Amino acid sequence: MALSQDVDAISLSFSGFGVDEKSIVTILGKWKPEERKSFRKGCEFFSNDDDRHFEKWNTDHMAVLKREFSRFKNAVVMWTMHPWERDARLAKEALIKETRSYDIIIEIACTRSSEELLGARKAYHSLFDHSIEEDVASHVDGSKRNLFVALVSAYRYEGSKVNDETAKSEAKMLCKAIKNAKTQNPIENEEVVRILSTRSKLHLKAIFKHYKEMCGKTLDEDLEDGSSLEKAVQCLSSPQAYFSKVLSASLKSGADEKTKVALTRVVATRADHDMKVIKEEFQKENGVSLSQKINETTHGNYKTFLLDLIERAA
């Protein structure tokens, strides 16, 4: 292969979601010093120091490349962790200022079973010598705090019994709270927080059904787009559809890093649970399979590992 073709192949290997390790090893391993110099001179990843006569890495590109190399490692580490530890570490990172993402707290609190959430809380104690409730209360400010603390503290009933009259009454409470949103933000309403954080998911399903009958729209349609309440309702009512949307956003061209990292998180946390349904939702919403989209968007061992995980759920 000509040097120009090698350079093009390496540039492509470096430019994406993950890196193509096979091409990098095959091409860079055979290059002599003058070929590496030609690559540096002609590649956008480098700039010339004309005073000192050498080509230096562009700092931003170097940081990006280090991050892309780390994706496979991070995916492997996350996948091999005990699920309790994985959720505890995800929650801790979600509360750190530099990597803050309250959506992850909502995901963990609203899509895990009662035993899984309790396990994450136990692991959080073990790893960080704090309770997750304590750290959420310390880091989440303002009107969101009560909801978030209530959600992570939940231990929901998971049996089959649902009191339909109670569900209907609570749907009416939610209708009233949404109608009065201009007077009081629903996230500050104690009844809204109580219902969403304590009721079983089967009971909530009945509430959401009655809500639509009473109000003409689903609850999440009536909530502010992108709000914590909307995301909590989506995770409680239709988690597979929620995760499909998160995956779709993570695989879009031009997605920022905070959005991209969700790909690893969702695949690693849902591969053993509901990935089959998530894949069906993704196909329905995007007109393309999740496997195909990952194959088109990601590179190297990172891509191979993700595909192996999602294809387990046939």
- Tell me, yes or no, whether 151 and 180 share the same domain: no
More confident residue, 99 or 297: 297
Identify the domain boundary among 180, 210, 237: 237
pLDDT of residue 91: 98
Contact 236, 201 (CB under 8 A): yes
Identify the domain boundary among 237, 268, 293: 237
User: Which tokens sit at 205?
Assistant: 């399903």
pLDDT of residue 55: 87
User: Which tokens sit at 3?
Assistant: 């040097």
Residue 198: Cβ-neighbour burial (10 angstroms; 0-12, 13-18, 19+): middle
Identify the domain boundary among 207, 237, 267: 237
End-to-end CA distance of the chain: 39
Contact 135, 92 (CB under 8 A): yes
Look at the chain and report how many structural domains it folds into. 4
Flag whether pLDDT at 129 surpasses 60: yes
- Tell me, yes or no, whether 44 and 93 share the same domain: no
DSSP state of 298: B
What's the whole-number mean pLDDT along residues 210-219? 96
Instruction: pLDDT band for 314, please (50, 70, 90 cuts).
Output: low
Flag whether pLDDT at 278 surpasses 60: yes
* Residues ≥6 apart with Cβ < 8 Å to 40: 46, 55
User: Which tokens sit at 30?
Assistant: 């055979």
- Tell me, yes or no, whether 286 and 297 share the same domain: yes
* Residues ≥6 apart with Cβ < 8 Å to 258: 99, 101
Q: Would you mind telling me the total number of residues written for the chain in this entry? A: 314
pLDDT of residue 16: 74
- Tell me, yes or no, whether 276 and 291 share the same domain: yes
Flag whether pLDDT at 313 surpasses 80: no
- Tell me, yes or no, whether 163 and 151 share the same domain: no
Q: Is 114 domain-assigned?
A: yes
Q: Is 67 domain-assigned?
A: no
Contact 16, 299 (CB under 8 A): yes
pLDDT digits (tens, 9 = 90+) for 66-96: 999 999 999 999 999 999 999 999 999 999 9
- Tell me, yes or no, whether 182 and 219 share the same domain: yes
Residue 213's domain comprises 158-237
DSSP state of 17: B
Sign of CA dihedral 194, 145, 105, 242: positive
DSSP H or E segment with residue 114: helix 114-128
- Tell me, yes or no, whether 229 and 246 share the same domain: no
Contact 49, 277 (CB under 8 A): no
Q: Is 62 domain-assigned?
A: no
The C-alpha atoms of residue 142 and residue 130 are separated, in whole angstroms, by 21
